[in-house]
A and B are shown apart, each in its own frame.
Chain A
Amino acid sequence: GAGVSQTPSNKVTEKGKYVELRCDPISGHTALYWYRQSLGQGPEFLIYFQGTGAADDSGLPNDRFFAVRPEGSVSTLKIQRTERGDSAVYLCASSLMAPSNEQFFGPGTRLTVL
């Protein structure tokens, strides 16, 4: 596809469960970002990949959150022992290498923790 895709579009889970959210970036984009957007707020940074490695994971709120990008393309955000406060829209964005920092966002995954 032409844009960033994310699956699933919606995920409802129970408190304490494990979830995985997937992101397919734009083909050829080496940089990949995860953000979290709470209702009525701007997106907040979680983690940034350059290629396969996490270049900056300073936005991950705690050790229940983890993300991988094993082949430098698709990325998976993993949340263990989900809590109700994890409910939000999780957005993925991709971009080319510097000097461009134009980040193109996917439609997001709406996570609801009951």
Chain B
Amino acid sequence: QQQVKQSPQSLIVQKGGIPIINCAYENTAFDYFPWYQQFPGKGPALLIAIRPDVSEKKEGRFTISFNKSAKQFSLHIMDSQPGDSATYFCAASLSSGSARQLTFGSGTQLTVLP
């Protein structure tokens, strides 16, 4: 019930391409869905987040698409750059109450070739 499934496990794109990472969740009570970027040896950094009352959110080159009925959400990176090469994690949580911990996906290792 708490699981978040992420795919693909790894992804290689050319510079300028649009990598897409997908996640699916099970707990319909989740109401906060962030994406994190992590470089080797660093902690996860918050990229962008969405709540289920909207179907899409865009911040700079990063876009989240959200499908509440399918319980799926995805990250699109426009005009990808070699500096975007990192591991990306989706997550889900409740935004109130005592159970506000993030449940993470297993991660996608993105490589953007120059």
Contact = CB atoms under 8 A, between A and B. Distances in A.
A85 interface: no
Contacts of A103: 34, 46, 102
A99 B49 CA distance: 13
A91 B103 CA distance: 14
Given A98-B95, A99-B96, A102-B49, A45 B101 contact: yes
Interface string B85-109: 0000101011110111111111100
Given A42-B105, A42-B106, A106 B43 contact: yes
Contacts, number: 68
B46 A99 contact: no
Classify the interface of chain B: helix, strand, loop or mixed: loop
Interface string A98-114: 11111111111000000
B62 interface: no
Contact of A108 (B34, B43, B103): B43
Interface residues of B, number: 27
Interface string A13-57: 000000000000000000101010000111111001010000110
Interface of A: 4, 31, 33, 35, 40-45, 48, 50, 55-56, 59, 91, 93, 98-108
